[in-house]
Structure 1
Amino acid sequence: MGLSSATTATEAIKLCIFDLRRGQQEGQELDKILFFFPAHLPFSTQLSVIGLSEGLITFTRIFSPEAACEVIEAERHSHVFYEAEPDIWMVMVVEKNETEAIWRIDALQKVLKEVHSLFLMFHGSIRALLEKEPAGGLIRSHLYPFIMDYLRDFLFGKKLLLPSFRDCLKERGTVQMLTVSREAAIEVQSLVKVLESCAGNTPCYSLILFQDLLVSTTLSPVDTINLFTYAVLRLTPRALSSGVSSWSYLRKGSTASHVTTGSMLAHSASVSEQVYGLQDTSPRGDNSYYVARPLQQDRWSKGKDGFLVTDIWGAEAGSSTSVTPTVWLQQTEERMYLCAYQYRSLTLILLVPVLSILNGEQGVSLLKQHVLENASLKMLKVEEKLSKGWGGENAYHVSGYRYLLVDGDRNVSRASPPGKVTTLTKESLLSLNKVREEVDLEKHQMESDNARFEKDMEVSIRAKNNAWVIARITKGKELYMVLEKADETLLYASDAVEKFSNRYCNGAFSLD
């Protein structure tokens, strides 16, 4: 595929990461570029984008030294900013569509936050890698394959499909919980205790999922979100069987389109290697370190013993045995072995400190054996009970409603099933997107004033297609709703929300 084809494929979006502490001397400007997509663009173009971003950051700091620049709206582009680490900036430049407001800035910011959080979980901080190898080759060799593998879920044909107005009933940075019966909850807690006993006196953590929903976690909120996100991306039964994450915003397409996507990414990766001189990071290469690529698709599979296996982390020296994956937990600030077990629709992730396993891979194998010997029957019983209570993909569908519930305090969300959301008209989704933008602005204002978002807020509008679009926010909880087959009066729509709140939200959004 020629360079011109790749250029037309991604010209509407640019994504870069740069370090404000680097490249301040004349002739050293390229040093500040840590990542740039599309990589085939000339250095002059890359430096122009980063130079403009740096100027906007510096200028806005004059008026708001404490609050980082978040978005700049130009005539043709939206510039979305995220300071991932001190002086490490991620910037997305999105070309505007002249006919409709496709992008919601907060949703784009959450894409930047998500990719950085996942990178942090697997590779540690960007700044730490820069300090380890100041020339920048080490951090670039990690960032380029990682982010390109992440973007693969968004590439469809010749377009990069980031969250648009059609995704306004989704919320990144949250987990989706499975509602379980009291009897099932007791069995789950019993399983968690057995898992902890398998590690002996070593402190360990666990995450249990059913389908793509969280059942139990002993991790901190931030680590739970990161592990949950990765599990849905690459580890759950649906992700393993389809080869495409169920977290993806991809639209269904032909096989030919996916082949084109793979060709594009392969070409983009090869260009980045040529431009930045990245070394071969395969186990057979001559480089002194191996760069794991945890976001590669189709690299996890289920072993005969039920544990998931992958060769992403390479092989043990002098052996064909794959190295056990590791992640970095922010809660404990230590690296942990990731052991994932799967039985039917149940996925169990056990995390054990690397330093506590004295014999490396042999010790991990022994730990897995203990889990199989002591917890197998418990896992089977839990899966059976959860399956009996499972209502299918439409379990949380409420007839007549299309909704999104967000609990900001617990970082939990619940929404209408994607298949039901697709029944909404374009006008309804565009109207909801605008309502969510209003709420985002109010929340950001509260944050800039160093105030917790506890203000009660309600927005109700009548869309062009006569649908009611409603948002209610109270005490850290948010409810967004579309009623397409409602009466013309606001009183009718308000009454419908009251009924939903009382029945499904314990009255949290009721006006009484």
Structure 2
Amino acid sequence: MSTSSRKERERPPPPPLQLCILDTRRGQQEGQEAEKVLAFYPKATAADDSTSVVGLFLATNAFCSIFSQDEHCEAMHAENSLWVSHQGEPCIWLLLVAQKGFVGPHIRDAALVDILKRMHSVTRLLYGSVQRLLSADPSGAAAEEALSRVLQRWGDQLSSNKGRSELHNPLSMGEALPLLPLSRPLFAGVQVLMNRLLVAQIGGTVPVVGALLLHEHWCVWSTLNRADTAALHSFASAAMMPAAQAAAHPSLTKRITASLRWREEGKSGSGSILDWRSWRVFPSRYVMFQDSAAAGDKEPEELPKLFLQEGDEQCRVLGLRAGESLLVLLLAERSTASAELLTGLSEVALPLLRPIAQSTAAELSDAKQWHIQGYRYVYENKMLQAVRASPGVKASTLSRESQALTHAVRLQLDSQCMQGDAEVIVRGENDCWVVAKRLASHTIAVVLEGRGQENLPDAAKTADLFIEAHFEGLLE
């Protein structure tokens, strides 16, 4: 047996999931290629292995550019792996490499690209642009420390049972924003709350520059633009909301810890702003960041900084909990958590926030988490970056053949050969029809399994009646 073949057999299999952020401007000299890698997941990956992954990606990308100089190749399917990339900034790339046995045979490229886009948006929210990190420290050490936290959070989440279940779910909401439809009375109440916050004077100034209201994982309302709303929702869902839920329901702590696969032991956080255990809910109901160096039950005066509108505007963040709702407040950059500020904000927000939380819980209970009996569906408004879908537990009741068919139909609707308004209707086994439509910025897929639809016109009519009844105006 040759030495080379023995080495091949001794080489361990690649990790099921790899994430990378790289800068193509760095490491131009031979022997310095590792400098291109700003952060890599798993973090323990050897430098030679991470450099090899990046080198293969860049070589493939350069080859593909010969055929299409205007568009980058976002996805590459190898025999056993799937490579997906996104250029977040000039010369800054995000890369995801997954083994096909890990992501399953039907994962959509667009869903994985969305993951990379959201990773980058959260990075900009927490640290500003990657270029800003490199300008502050050209060595790349500061960028590696910050970016590794983001990759660790997404890598651990995707590798968890819950994360893999979402990847395999044919009706997954993925990285889209789960926007909660509101009744008119609740809509009016939320608007009153937000308006009062944005004009409230406390200590002679107006401290609130923006706000986001969440209920469980749903986005109820936001005063921010679409991109900042999506990024802030991802961040709050990863860090602030789990802390609020653990404080309200202590029995959830072990479940949250297990689902996010944090490796550190003990009750204290790691000091990372993305670690939910570094956030505390104080008796005042405020959800505040407290790094590992802080001690005691006193509310910290220093509030973490966020970067809005692509790093041009900076602000401070804290949360306020009421029931299952979390109000994320963005304050002027120079704000500190003084007693006067916290008391003033509570007096403005809590009298309205408490009944809003109760009303939202009641409406969500009546809606049964938007499950519509007899149907499985996913709807996305790309303009609002908002989505509604059947709960994952309901999607899992579909047969494997129907799940595979739904994946394939959504993939077809994503394909470049179907531009503009489009419709795909396919029949599979188990008396299953999948009807998918794209109309302007709206897309919807409806699964009709075991409903006795005999032919294509019947299936199309049933899907249209469903859409008209539950998504008013979508077909107009």
- Identify the TM-score tier after normalising by the shorter chain: 0.7 to 0.9
- Following TM superposition, by how much is the alpha carbon of 1:27 offset from its aligned partner in structure 2, in angstroms? 2.3
Letter of the 1:46 counterpart: S
SS in 2 for 1:153: helix
In structure 1, what is the Cα distance between the partners aligned to 2:103 and 2:117? Answer: 28
In structure 1, what is the Cα distance between the partners aligned to 2:246 and 2:367? Answer: 16
Paired position in structure 2 for 1:459:
424
- Following TM superposition, by how much is the alpha carbon of 1:496 offset from its aligned partner in structure 2, in angstroms? 1.3
Matched, 1:433 2:407: yes
Identify the range of structure 1 (96-105 vs 379-388) with the bigger mean alpha-carbon deviation.
Answer: 96-105
Mapped contact 1:205–1:351 kept (Cα < 8 A): yes
In structure 1, what is the Cα distance between the partners aligned to 2:153 and 2:275? Answer: 6
In structure 1, what is the Cα distance between the partners aligned to 2:86 and 2:248? Answer: 30
In structure 2, what is the Cα distance between the partners aligned to 1:482 and 1:32? Answer: 45
Letter of the 2:432 counterpart: A
Paired position in structure 2 for 1:304:
283
Paired position in structure 2 for 1:60:
64
Instruction: Name the CA shift for 1:207/1:477 in 2 (closer, same or farther; >3 Å).
Output: same
Paired position in structure 2 for 1:213:
218
Instruction: Name the CA shift for 1:16/1:243 in 2 (closer, same or farther; >3 Å).
Output: farther
SS in 1 for 2:276: coil
Instruction: Name the CA shift for 1:434/1:65 in 2 (closer, same or farther; >3 Å).
Output: same
Mapped contact 1:243–1:298 kept (Cα < 8 A): no
Q: What do the CA deviations read for 1:285-321 (whole angstroms, capped 9, x no partner)?
A: xxxxxx96222133323211111123138659xx983
Instruction: Name the CA shift for 1:407/1:40 in 2 (closer, same or farther; >3 Å).
Output: same
* Percent of aligned pairs sharing the same letter: 26
- Following TM superposition, by how much is the alpha carbon of 1:207 offset from its aligned partner in structure 2, in angstroms? 1.2
- Following TM superposition, by how much is the alpha carbon of 1:259 offset from its aligned partner in structure 2, in angstroms? 10
In structure 2, what is the Cα distance between the partners aligned to 1:383 and 1:486? Answer: 37
Paired position in structure 2 for 1:287:
none
Letter of the 2:383 counterpart: D
Mapped contact 2:19–2:151 kept (Cα < 8 A): no
Paired position in structure 1 for 2:474:
508
Unaligned runs of 5+ residues in structure 2 are: 1-10
- Following TM superposition, by how much is the alpha carbon of 1:99 offset from its aligned partner in structure 2, in angstroms? 12
Instruction: Name the CA shift for 1:69/1:296 in 2 (closer, same or farther; >3 Å).
Output: same
Mapped contact 2:242–2:276 kept (Cα < 8 A): no
In structure 2, what is the Cα distance between the partners aligned to 1:98 and 1:409? Answer: 31
- Following TM superposition, by how much is the alpha carbon of 1:66 offset from its aligned partner in structure 2, in angstroms? 2.4
Paired position in structure 2 for 1:169:
171
In structure 1, what is the Cα distance between the partners aligned to 2:196 and 2:222? Answer: 14
Letter of the 1:493 counterpart: A
Instruction: Name the CA shift for 1:108/1:243 in 2 (closer, same or farther; >3 Å).
Output: farther
- Following TM superposition, by how much is the alpha carbon of 1:223 offset from its aligned partner in structure 2, in angstroms? 0.6
Mapped contact 2:17–2:159 kept (Cα < 8 A): no
Matched, 1:342 2:316: no
Which of 189, 192, 212 is equivalent to 1:190?
A: 192
Q: After TM superposition, list the pairs within 5 Å mapping 1:134-283 onto structure 2.
A: 134-156=138-160, 161=164, 163-164=166-167, 166-199=168-201, 200-202=205-207, 204-236=209-241, 240-241=245-246, 258=258, 261-263=261-263
In structure 1, what is the Cα distance between the partners aligned to 2:90 and 2:234? Answer: 24
Letter of the 1:460 counterpart: I
Task: State TM-score, norm by structure 2.
Answer: 0.85
Mapped contact 2:119–2:154 kept (Cα < 8 A): yes
Letter of the 2:457 counterpart: L
Task: State TM-score, norm by structure 1.
Answer: 0.80
Paired position in structure 1 for 2:109:
105
Which of 490, 503, 510 is equivalent to 2:456?
A: 490
Letter of the 1:484 counterpart: E
In structure 2, what is the Cα distance between the partners aligned to 1:419 and 1:181? Answer: 25
In structure 2, what is the Cα distance between the partners aligned to 1:145 and 1:28? Answer: 24
Unaligned runs of 5+ residues in structure 1 are: 1-6, 245-251, 267-281, 284-290, 447-452
